[in-house]
Structure 1
Amino acid sequence: MLYLIDEPMADIGLRTAADDPDAAVVLIQDGVFLSPDLGSELYAVEKDVDVRGVDLPDEIERITYGDLIEMIVENEVKNFV
């Protein structure tokens, strides 16, 4: 399952993802300010990271919006944006 997480809905989104052993989390918009402590794959949209001047932890992979679209097409999605 792919989880799209933005800051306003982060608490519930990250709690939901934490219960999913197959979760992949994408931090989008102000969600890039978060540093979730999950055992899941973590991604952040690079344009959102660059616009906000955020330094990401090593465990969060930068992806493009094109990559995100491919991930959305290929996976079931829960949206917390």
Structure 2
Amino acid sequence: MLYLIDEPMADIGLRTAVDDPEARVVLVQDGVFLSPALDAELYAVKKDVDVRGVDLPEEIEEITYDDLIDLIVENEVKNFV
């Protein structure tokens, strides 16, 4: 399952993702300020990271919006944006 997470809904989104052994989490908009402690694939949208001047932890991979579209098409999505 792919989880799209923005800061205002982060708490419920991350609590939902933590119980999913196949979770893939994408941090978008102000969600890039988060550093989730999850055993999951973690991504952040590069444009959102750059606009906000965030330094991401190593475990979070930057992706483009085109990459995000591919992930959305390829996965079932839960939206917490």
Shorter-chain TM band: over 0.9
- Give per-residue Cα distances to partners, 1:31-61, cap 9 Å, x unaligned: 0000000000000000000000000000000
| Residue in structure 1 matched with residue 5 of structure 2 by the alignment | 5
| Residue in structure 1 matched with residue 20 of structure 2 by the alignment | 20
Structure 1 segments of 4 or more deviating over 4 A?
A: none
Instruction: Give the secondary structure class of the aligned counterpart of 1:78.
Output: strand
| Residue in structure 2 matched with residue 66 of structure 1 by the alignment | 66
Instruction: Give the secondary structure class of the aligned counterpart of 2:67.
Output: helix
CA RMSD in angstroms, aligned pairs only = 0.2
Distance 1:42 1:29 in 2: 15
Instruction: Give the secondary structure class of the aligned counterpart of 1:71.
Output: helix
Distance 1:52 1:39 in 2: 25
| Residue in structure 2 matched with residue 77 of structure 1 by the alignment | 77
Distance 1:48 1:33 in 2: 10
* Runs (5+) with no aligned partner, structure 1: none
